[in-house]
Structure 1
């Protein structure tokens, strides 16, 4: 793989500050939707979920992070195959969970599907970790969808190499 490029950008929205990434795929929107929502397809590049989405939440388990506990994902909005809004609850300290909003938007034009993924960044200092992490995972998604082995994408190529981009992107005044 070539040297990765930081691709996330700050987006100030009415509900907070987000980091936003875009990836394109030569695939129908329904196929890309499955890649980001179907537990078996998701497991190839990120993690998997269990539970009943119609209940409004699922348990999500990262597969490529050491000793990460399962997270509760509340489904705030789902308009398949175009839009998914999720709020995560990560009880890393056992008592006070962190809550992050994730936004997935998909569009298709001429056989090309664009995925726009965003995560809120309530503390600008977290961007230097979150940014390289999502560049890494989204590049794993691209590899999986291109029938390449996602394991060839190495986190060591992303972090800390891409951190400076995110420090600069989120250090500026809006």
Structure 2
């Protein structure tokens, strides 16, 4: 499956990304893939912390490195939805909400990332979600994250740029 380009909207001084895709797996399996440390590490990043409501998390790092992202789980209705803050290093905190529901052909996942200011989230999330699709299908995770990100970036730069122009 190719992940479809998201809806990108202006949101205050930033943006909101909305990805809405159907993954060829059940709700419980997709929930496990996005919330279980070992599965999350396969397609995105290894995280530490307590992935439950009120819990905090951080991207795991090696040695003395600081995590590149942290957050607090604001709400969780397993296996249907969660909302977390997303605080990337050097950026203001944002909000990430993920919802799952049964759909023809598998499970519909809606990922909404609100308040982002960096245009790099578009290509980044698409690259990660393509890897999640492979994980959900039990296929090998695509290699070359940086190359795929670079391939997707020009189109996202254009789309984000158009939104900035429309605002003026």
Common fold, TM-score beyond 0.5?
Answer: yes
Query: CA 1:51–1:40 in structure 2 vs 1: closer, same or farther (change >3 Å)?
Result: same
Shift of 1:37: 0.5
Q: RMSD value over aligned CA atoms?
A: 2.9
Q: Matches of residues 1-174 of structure 1 in structure 2 within 5 Å? A: 7-11=5-9, 17-54=15-52, 56-61=54-59, 69=67, 71-90=69-88, 92-93=89-90, 98-110=92-104, 112-123=106-117, 126-127=118-119, 129-150=120-141, 152-170=142-160, 171-172=162-163, 173=166
TM-score normalised by L of structure 2: 0.78
Shift of 1:70: 5.4
TM-score normalised by L of structure 1: 0.76
| Alpha-carbon distance in structure 1 between the residues aligned to 2:53 and 2:115 | 27
- Counterpart contact for 1:6–1:165, Cα < 8 Å: no
Unaligned runs of 5+ in 1: none
| Alpha-carbon distance in structure 1 between the residues aligned to 2:33 and 2:126 | 16
Unaligned runs of 5+ in 2: none
| Alpha-carbon distance in structure 2 between the residues aligned to 1:74 and 1:155 | 26
Kindly tell me the number of residue pairs found equivalent between the two proteins.
161
| Alpha-carbon distance in structure 1 between the residues aligned to 2:29 and 2:107 | 9
Query: CA 1:158–1:5 in structure 2 vs 1: closer, same or farther (change >3 Å)?
Result: farther
- Counterpart contact for 2:48–2:57, Cα < 8 Å: yes
